[in-house]
Amino acid sequence: MVLLQGKKGLVMGVANDHSIAWGIAKALHAQGADLGFTYVGEALERRVRPLAESLGARLIEPCDVQRDDDIDALMARVREVYGALDIIIHAIAFANRDELNGPYLKTTREGFRLALDVSAYSLTAVVKAAHDLLAPGASIVTLTYHGSQQVAQNYNVMGVAKAALEASVRYLANDLGPRGIRVNAISAGPIRTLAASGIAGFRTLHKQFAEVAPLRRNVTIEDVGNAAVWLCSDWSSAVTGEIIYVDAGFHTISISLPE
């Protein structure tokens, strides 16, 4: 059975073939979804375009989520190419590398603003701009991390941004629910990606995670992709405003990692 036949989706956040967004795109495509992609900057375009083309993308557009003009231009193109959207994948985050290291206390006002803008507000900005394009039954999925709920070494301002993102999921779910549109987040365990490489001590965390997580393994972009298929399909039709953990069970245990 193919779960997403006829569904049109927009995937935001592929940087390369290690990206969580790429794992999700592959899984959605395998279930029949017709996907468009966004990228930021020429350097990433060179990586994203061939990946997107390999899945037959009809739309590959630049979009810096810090720029409302970019988001509006993107949605105008989505309207031309697809007419309506059934799926939005938001897999975007950014914070200054020197604020993902050491104490949270050293976070600057500008660093806080930047992290919250790109990593949290962008979901609201994208959904607001896509509002008219969303088909009844549409599903929006974003990516978060458990550092929003508990202190994770060096995650710092990104943990605060993820807390805002998770709250945004609940408020957006409430706004869009009457139209049958669902909004959820996947809280993924640590995966070695470009964004993760900016977090001090990530390699150690990644290794130790697999030693203590109930499933005794790390999480893959394929694991996250499969959960996203479920969230984008009618099989999760009564699930909205949720944070779904795809973390090999790590958040359920009380053990804390050594520094």
Beta bridge partners of residue 182, listed in sequence order: 139
51 binds ligand NAD (CB under 6 A): no
Q: Which is closer to ligand NAD, CB of 85 or CB of 195?
A: 195
Cβ neighbours for 230, distance < 8 A, ≥ 6 positions apart: 236
Please pick, from the candidates 169, 195, 213, 244, the single residue that binds ligand NAD as defined by CB under 6 A.
195
* DSSP string covering 74-86: HHHHHHHHHSSEE
Q: How far is the CB of 49 from ligand NAD (least distance, A)?
A: 13
* 77 annotated as a binding-site residue: no
Q: Which is closer to ligand NAD, CB of 31 or CB of 144?
A: 144
Please pick, from the candidates 30, 66, 77, 239, the single residue that binds ligand NAD as defined by CB under 6 A.
66
Q: How far is the CB of 22 from ligand NAD (least distance, A)?
A: 7
34 in helix, strand or coil?
strand
Please pick, from the candidates 115, 130, 140, 191, the single residue that binds ligand NAD as defined by CB under 6 A.
191
Please list every residue from 204 through 243 that binds ligand NAD, using CB under 6 A: none
Task: For tokens 């468009």, name the residue.
Answer: 36
Q: Which is closer to ligand NAD, CB of 40 or CB of 133?
A: 40
Count other Cβ atoms within 10 Å, centred on residue 158: 28
Q: Which is closer to ligand NAD, CB of 51 or CB of 133?
A: 51
Please pick, from the candidates 10, 11, 20, 169, the single residue that binds ligand NAD as defined by CB under 6 A.
20
60 binds ligand NAD (CB under 6 A): no
Beta bridge partners of residue 44, listed in sequence order: none
| Residue 211 burial (10 A CB sphere; 0-12, 13-18, 19+) | exposed
**DSSP H or E run through 7:** none
Our answer to whether residue 155 is catalytic in this structure is yes
Quick note: the x/- pattern for ligand NAD over 141-170, rule CB under 6 A, is --xxx-------------------------
Our answer to whether residue 82 is catalytic in this structure is no
Integer Cα distance of 61 and 12 in angstroms: 10
196 binds ligand NAD (CB under 6 A): yes
257 in helix, strand or coil?
coil
Active-site annotation holder among 39, 82, 155, 245: 155
* 79 annotated as a binding-site residue: no
56 in helix, strand or coil?
coil
Integer Cα distance of 52 and 37 in angstroms: 7
Cβ neighbours for 145, distance < 8 A, ≥ 6 positions apart: 152, 155, 158, 159, 162, 187, 188, 190
Applying CB under 6 A, the residues found at the interface with ligand NAD are 13-15, 19-21, 40, 44, 63-66, 91-94, 118, 143-145, 188, 190-191, 193-196
Numbered residues of the known binding site for substrate? 95
User: What are the residue numbers of the active site?
Assistant: 145, 155
